[in-house]
A and B are shown apart, each in its own frame.
Chain A
Amino acid sequence: MDINLMMSIFPNLLNGAVITLKLLVVSMFFGLIIGLIFAILRVNKNPIFNKFAYGYSYFFRGTPLLVQLYLIYYGLANIEFLRNSFFWVIIKEPYWCAIIAFSLNTGAYTSEILRSSFQTIKKGYIEAAQSLGVTKKITFYRIQLPIAIKQSLPAYGNEIILMLKGTSLASVITIMDLMGEARKINVLTFKPFEAFITAGIIYLFITFIIHNIVKYLEKKYRFQT
């Protein structure tokens, strides 16, 4: 193992890690909004809404993230009509293609996490609210939603970490994220071990930070049942 090489490639990899974090934060943000909307649709009684939400989460959880990324990056770019529309401004950029794919993917998982939290809320809370004359809408936004979010935290922490690892796929659509930089170093130096172990250490460090933030939040917002 060539420690000197690992030290010298470290700054390049850190540049890549910044892109990785950007991808992660932006797609988790959009993913959370998407997940929340679709979780609400999933628990909606209207069959059109909940079937649609179910179909969405079924598709994005049932196909590999890489396939989704290729579909959005190469697939959409193949459609003449889209290329000539204003959408092309977005789809042309690999960065936005990655954000779209990652957001839709994590959105599907997030919606499932939130849905299961909604469904495990004890009936008693809702009944108690209703017996006090609280409207359904307020019950939902002030009681069900906060409980669901708090209960989702541990599972959502896992999802963030899974998504962090998922962002490494961005390198296949020319984005120079942490993995992209590592691959570049690999082809320049022909030393895959050093390139990927250093990248692995940085990924591990980011995971460590995320893990601890989530643990802190879990403690702070623990919901006592």
Chain B
Amino acid sequence: MNKFKQLGLGIIISFFLVLSANAGSIKIGTEGAYPPWNSKDAAGNLNGFEVDLANALCEIMKHNCTIVEQDWDGMIPALTSKKFDAIMAGMSITSERLKTINFSQGYADEVASLAVMKGSSIENINAPEGINLNIGGSDVDKALKTLTSSLSGKTVCTQIGTIHQNFLESGDVGKINLKTYKTQDEVNLDLTNGRCDVALAAAVAFTDYAEKSGKAVVLTGPTFSGGAFGNGVGVGIRKGDSKLLNEFNAAIDKARDDGIISKLAIKWFGFDASM
């Protein structure tokens, strides 16, 4: 066989491989880099709350599921270009994202928080324990004002394309020096290295990191929810894929009623983050 024929055969075989990988089952995309929501173990296998939940939901829907890894910053384009059929990646339901994709009902919700290294000048911010931007009011305004003065001139780090970035750019906390990273791992690294004065992410992302790495990362200021932080985390699904959307909604109902979501949340978060 000459070289040309070999090449042609190779191309044909790879076409079949691509086609067969797409047939029959649904694919769920996750980041695998945002513990405890989703992450990877030392052997490189995906694990975390959403990996367990995805498997549970697929069992209820009687679908054959594969969970695939996708970088966070390409998550929504990968869904719309049919690299997979659903997103379960700690992705909050926000109005910006709803313009491009649909979301199932929320399955879990969890607050965001600022974090600093122990001994930081803003380790203690005088603010209420938690603020909900949906409710607003004078307490929230006061807390945001305190935050604005605490964060002024500070380097604040967060993952790119997140609700946390949206919040920091919304102007609610005034002018800050914002740095965005591809993954939460890199935010954690630069926080401990001292390039970031303070970081913003899901509170559990920091507590999980502090616990596993033994670094003196501590939460500071109020916890955040509502407003730019969206309305809980749901399954992202392509617009027009209403059959799959209905199936996921029904499966989430069933999983909630059976206590599966609560059980998994307690297993991974240490508290019941289900909704």
**Chain A interface (Cβ within 8 Å of chain B)?**
74, 77-78, 83, 88, 92, 94, 172, 174, 183-184, 186-188, 190-192
Q: Are B80 and A183 interface neighbours, CB within 8 A?
A: no
Is B195 an interface residue when CB atoms closer than 8 A count as contact?
yes
Q: Known interface pairs A74-B189, A92-B194. Does A188 touch B161 (Cβ–Cβ under 8 Å)?
A: yes
Residue numbers in A under 8 Å from B180 (CB-CB): 174, 184
A-B contact pairs, 24 of them (CB 8 A): A74-B186, A74-B189, A74-B190, A77-B189, A83-B194, A88-B194, A92-B194, A94-B195, A172-B182, A174-B180, A174-B190, A183-B73, A184-B160, A184-B180, A186-B73, A186-B74, A186-B77, A187-B73, A188-B96, A188-B161, A190-B80, A191-B77, A192-B74, A192-B77
Interface residues on B, range: 20 to 34
Cα distance, A174 to B181, chains bound together (Å):
6
Is B193 an interface residue when CB atoms closer than 8 A count as contact?
yes
Do most interface residues of chain A lie in helix, strand or loop, or is the interface mixed? helix
Q: Are A78 and B193 interface neighbours, CB within 8 A?
A: yes
Q: Are B193 and A77 interface neighbours, CB within 8 A?
A: yes
Q: Known interface pairs A83-B194, A92-B194, A183-B73. Does A190 touch B100 (Cβ–Cβ under 8 Å)?
A: yes
Cα distance, A174 to B156, chains bound together (Å):
12
Chain A nearest CB, measured from B197 CB (Å) = 11
**Chain B interface (Cβ within 8 Å of chain A)?**
73-74, 76-77, 80, 96-97, 100-101, 157, 160-161, 179-182, 186, 189-190, 193-195
Q: Known interface pairs A183-B160, A184-B180. Does A190 touch B77 (Cβ–Cβ under 8 Å)?
A: yes
| Extra inter-chain contacts (9) besides given A74-B189, A88-B194, CB under 8 Å | A74-B193, A77-B190, A83-B193, A174-B179, A183-B73, A187-B160, A188-B96, A190-B77, A192-B77
Cα distance, A191 to B161, chains bound together (Å):
13
Chain A's closest residue to B74 (CB) is A192
Cα distance, A184 to B186, chains bound together (Å):
17
Cα distance, A172 to B190, chains bound together (Å):
13
